[in-house]
Amino acid sequence: MADTVAEVRLPTEELREDIPFFTKTLGMRMDMIYPADDPSIAVFSGHGLRVRVERGAEESPGTIRILTDAPDSFADGARVLTAPNGTRIEIEERDPPLVLPETQHSFVVRRLADQAPWIIGRAGMHYRDLVPSRLGGSIIASHIRIPDGGPVPDMVHYHKVGFQLIFCIHGWVDVVYEDQGPPMRLNPGDCFIQPPEIRHRVLEASDDLQVIEIGVPAEHVTEIDHDMTLPTETHRPDREWDGQRFVFNQAKDAEWIPFRLPGFICRDTTINDNTKGVAGVQVVRRGEGESCWSSHDTNILFAFIMEGQVTLHGEGRDPFPLEKGDAFVIPPGMKTRLADATENLEVLEVCLPGTFKTTLETS
C-alpha cells in the first residue's frame, strides 16, 4: 500500500507573516513552499501535525491544541496565542494530574421503575445513569447492558481514573488485562477493580450482559492504546498502578461475615485492601436480628439492589420501598435504616474511602 499523508488546511492573507510564527514560535518544520516568485502556500509539520497554510483558502482559521510535557517552556510559557493568519493556538499539559471534584453531598434514590432512558455509549453498550447529579462530578454510577451477545467491538484502552469498579449482575463477559494473564470471565456476583490506566479489552459477552460500573471522578478520559497487544507476555499479579492492584473477586469463593449494620451479613471483595483504602466494595444479605438507625462518615456511600426488596427509611423522609434495579446514595451524617428486607435480598455497597465509621442508634 502506498504511503499517504494527511494535511489540515488553514487560510492566510499574507504567508510571509506566518512562516516565522509556525517555525520559530511553534517550533514546526517548513516542508514545502511555492511558488518561488510569490509564495502563497507553505506546509509545516511538527508535534504530530501537518498544516498547509494557503493564501485565499476559504476555511475558518480554526484552533490548534498542542499538548506538551513542559508547557511553561514552550512558546515562552504562553498558553494561548493567535497566529498571524488568525489560528488560535492553545498550549496544554500532555498528561495533566487527575483532579477529584469536591463531593456535593445529597440523598439520592434512583428507581428502575422511573424508566430513566438507556443511552447508547462506547462500543455499543447501553448505559442507565444511577446517580444523575454525579454528586458534583465526584462519581459516576452506571447500569450497563449489552442486549445481544457475541464479540464486543472494543479496542485496547485505559481510563484516567481514581477508582473504577465493574460488577457483574447478569450474564457473563470475557475481558483481558495488562500483565494479568489470559482472558478472564466475569460471572454474576464477580467483580473487577480496574486500577488507574491499566490496559484492557472487552472480548465477548453473553446475551443480556448487565454490569454495574462505578467511576471516580464522573468525567474521566478513555484513551486507546494502539501499540499494546493483549494478553501481554508478562504476568505480574502483584503489580500496582498508582498504588492499586488489579482485583478479580469471584462470588463462588465468598465467606459471609457480620455486616457493619445489625440484621445483615456481607462478603468482602478485598478491594479496600488492594486499593489501600481508596474504596470498599461489599455484597450484603439479610442476616439475623433487627436492623437499626445508623449514620456514617465516609465521603460517598452508594448501594444498588441486585435481588429482593427492602425499605429505606431516611430521617425526615417518607419511606422508600426498593426492589431489584434500584439504587441510592446516603450522605455522611444522615440517619437511615434498612427495614423489611426479604430473604433473597442482595445489595451491592460501594464506599469511598473504604475505611470509615458507622454510628448505630441502638436506643
Q: Give 163-214 pLDDT, tens digit per residue.
A: 999 999 999 999 999 999 999 999 999 999 999 999 999 999 999 999 999 9
Grid coordinates in use for 139? 462519581
What's the mean pLDDT in 289-300? Answer: 95
Q: Is 344 within the bounds of a domain?
A: yes
Instruction: Give yes or no: residues 139 and 81 share one domain.
Output: no
Q: Is 338 within the bounds of a domain?
A: yes
Instruction: Give yes or no: residues 144 and 229 share one domain.
Output: yes
pTM: 0.88
Grid coordinates in use for 253? 469463593
Q: What is the pLDDT of residue 3?
A: 82
Apex CA 248: angle with CA 242 and CA 251, to 5°? Answer: 145
- Chain-centroid distance, C-alpha 29: 37
Radius of gyration of the chain (CA): 26
With bands split at pLDDT 50, 70 and 90, how would you rate the model's confidence at 363?
low
Buried b (16+ CB within 10 A) or exposed e, 195-231: bbbbbbbbbbbbeebbbbbbbbbbebeeeebeeeebb
What's the mean pLDDT in 52-76? Answer: 94
Q: Is 150 within the bounds of a domain?
A: yes
Cis peptide before 35 (omega within 30 of 0): yes
Q: What is the pLDDT of residue 123?
A: 62
Grid coordinates in use for 86? 488568525
Q: Is 100 within the bounds of a domain?
A: no
Q: Is 278 within the bounds of a domain?
A: yes
Closest CA to 97 of 200, 226, 227, 220: 220
Q: What is the pLDDT of residue 122?
A: 65
With bands split at pLDDT 50, 70 and 90, how would you rate the model's confidence at 88?
very high
Instruction: Collect all residues with Cβ–Cβ distance below 8 Å to 149 and sequence separation of at least 6.
Output: 171, 204, 205, 206, 207, 208, 209
Instruction: Give yes or no: residues 270 and 233 share one domain.
Output: no
pLDDT at 328 over 60: yes
Q: Is 104 within the bounds of a domain?
A: no
Buried b (16+ CB within 10 A) or exposed e, 123-144: eebbbbbbbeebbebbbbbbbb
Instruction: Give yes or no: residues 283 and 184 share one domain.
Output: no
pLDDT, the chain, mean: 94
What's the mean pLDDT in 54-72? Answer: 94
pLDDT at 362 over 80: no
Instruction: Give yes or no: residues 347 and 229 share one domain.
Output: no
Q: Which of 250, 276, 292 is the endpoint of a domain?
A: 250
Domain that holds residue 278: 253-361
Q: Is 1 within the bounds of a domain?
A: no
Instruction: Give yes or no: residues 120 and 237 share one domain.
Output: yes
Per-residue pLDDT tens digits for 253-292: 889 999 999 999 999 999 999 999 999 999 999 999 999 9
Instruction: Give yes or no: residues 208 and 219 share one domain.
Output: yes
Q: Is 342 within the bounds of a domain?
A: yes
Q: Which of 200, 220, 250 is the endpoint of a domain?
A: 250
How far apart CA 45 and CA 28 sit, in angstroms, is 5
Q: What is the pLDDT of residue 119?
A: 81
What's the mean pLDDT in 126-141? Answer: 94
How large a percentage of the chain has pLDDT more than 90? Answer: 86
- Is there a contact between 72 and 79 (Cβ–Cβ < 8 Å)? no
Q: What is the pLDDT of residue 105?
A: 97
Q: What is the pLDDT of residue 100?
A: 87
With bands split at pLDDT 50, 70 and 90, how would you rate the model's confidence at 2?
low
How large a percentage of the chain has pLDDT more than 70? Answer: 98
Instruction: Give yes or no: residues 75 and 157 share one domain.
Output: no
- What is the count of structural domains for the chain? 3
Instruction: Give yes or no: residues 243 and 269 share one domain.
Output: no
What's the mean pLDDT in 315-340? Answer: 96
Instruction: Give yes or no: residues 228 and 264 share one domain.
Output: no
CATH number at residue 72: 3.10.180.10
CATH number at residue 347: 2.60.120.10
Closest CA to 291 of 327, 264, 318: 264
Q: Which of 185, 218, 250 is the endpoint of a domain?
A: 250
Instruction: Give yes or no: residues 176 and 146 share one domain.
Output: yes
Instruction: Give yes or no: residues 355 and 258 share one domain.
Output: yes
With bands split at pLDDT 50, 70 and 90, how would you rate the model's confidence at 247?
very high
